[in-house]
Amino acid sequence: MTRLLHTADWHLGRAFHGEDLLSEQAAFVDFAVATARAERVDGILIAGDLYDRALPPVDAVRLASDALARLSEIAPVVVISGNHDSAARLGFGAELLARAGVHVVTDPASAGTAVEVGGALVYPLPYLEPDLVREELGVQERSHAAVTGAAMERVRADIARRRSAAGSAPVVVMAHAFVSGAAGSESERDLAVGGAAHVPPGTFAGADYVALGHLHGPQIAGGAACRYAGSPLAFSFSEAPQRKSVALVDVGAAGAPVGVELLPCPVPRPLAALRGTLDELLADPRLRERESAWVQATLTDPVRPSDAMERLRRRFPHAVALAFDPQGGQSAPGDSYQRLRGLDDDELVRRFIADVRGSEADDDELELLRDALTARRIAEAEGQPAAAAA
């Protein structure tokens, strides 16, 4: 039996509505280290988005270095790059780190190469941006399903070779992708424009367990052995109902049932979405327990109150988001833009063109804009400044 700790989407360096989260992220690292030690795990899997952006702040890099050093003292660590990470930067010194038990996998050419962890074969698949990896993987189609499928063909070929020679070790695949049927939240970045981001669950056939990253809600995706660990912290108010956790995974022989236990992560500060007039929110005694939470307030006053956020923070010092939904009055100029929240890039572009120009973009214009968005994602994946995509 091999015991693994599966986590993902740390997003070190990320802020929450402008508020620094580094201390909360450091508290999670302490929790992960203590859990790995107490559960006597054979390996730790971090399924992408270690950092929040290609050029993370120095303090985030220091925290990542500390986390990997401490975890590697307990068991081997396997890390893949996610869509927020710079593969080139994260993968620097990977060969040296592997000697210390930290296996950082960012190169798509490594697909089909296993890392032996305990008695299991772990196949790390870094985030695969189709336009960057199609040539390497021999794929013509510009989709995540196509490139992930090609990577899994390499995995299955290696499994067949190994099993013909040496028995039936369990197979664990790590991937950073959007699996069809899973539920996203507002804090994830779109992987593609126009719906080409989804990967069918059947793509991972042949694996005994699939350790997924990218979506921030812990959930099963397409089968009990295909799971998102989720992010350790909430990064949007849409995640308020989620119970953040890490997955403790027990894998036995190939084809045997996999045991998964979800271990709740610490909650440094809860989320609270409040709604009502400003006077109601300031006076309601039932909201006393929300005074220490991150607060998103939607004010329903017919007329927008003056200094609303300042007054709200006198009671709720951690109020970070304010919206207006006037009841019985007129919306203030600009309130309509709240309707854009949660839209994907494709729909945002459509609405922007229509709003600015007064007419819809035609098919040729939309294709050009989609190409520009794709170029931006490629530049970010290669660690270039955003302006390099222009």
Whether the pLDDT of residue 196 is over 70: the answer is: no
Model pLDDT, residue 167: 66
Average pLDDT, the chain: 88
Whether the pLDDT of residue 166 is over 80: the answer is: no
Q: How confident is the model at residue 355 (pLDDT cuts 50, 70, 90)?
A: low
Average pLDDT over residues 157-173: 85
Name which of 87-101, 249-263, 298-312, 330-344 the model is least confident about.
Answer: 330-344
Place of tokens 């890390």: 79
Q: pLDDT tens digits for 202-223?
A: 999 999 999 999 999 999 998 7
Return the amino acid letter for 388.
Answer: A
Q: How confident is the model at residue 388 (pLDDT cuts 50, 70, 90)?
A: very low
- Our CA angle for 171, 177, 178, nearest 5°, is 120
**Nearest partner of 206 among 249, 179, 168, 178, judged by Cα:** 168
Place of tokens 């956790």: 245
Model pLDDT, residue 312: 97
Looking at the chain, the whole-number percentage of residues with pLDDT higher than 90 is 73
Q: Which residues of 97-117 are buried (b: 16+ CB within 10 A; e: fewer)?
A: beeebbbbbbbbebbbebbeb
Q: pLDDT tens digits for 43-100?
A: 999 999 999 999 999 999 999 999 999 999 999 999 999 999 999 999 999 999 999 9
Higher pLDDT, 135 or 363: 135
Model pLDDT, residue 194: 46
Q: How confident is the model at residue 162 (pLDDT cuts 50, 70, 90)?
A: confident
Q: How confident is the model at residue 387 (pLDDT cuts 50, 70, 90)?
A: very low
Q: How far apart are CA 105 and CA 108, in angstroms?
A: 8
Model pLDDT, residue 253: 82
Q: How confident is the model at residue 389 (pLDDT cuts 50, 70, 90)?
A: very low
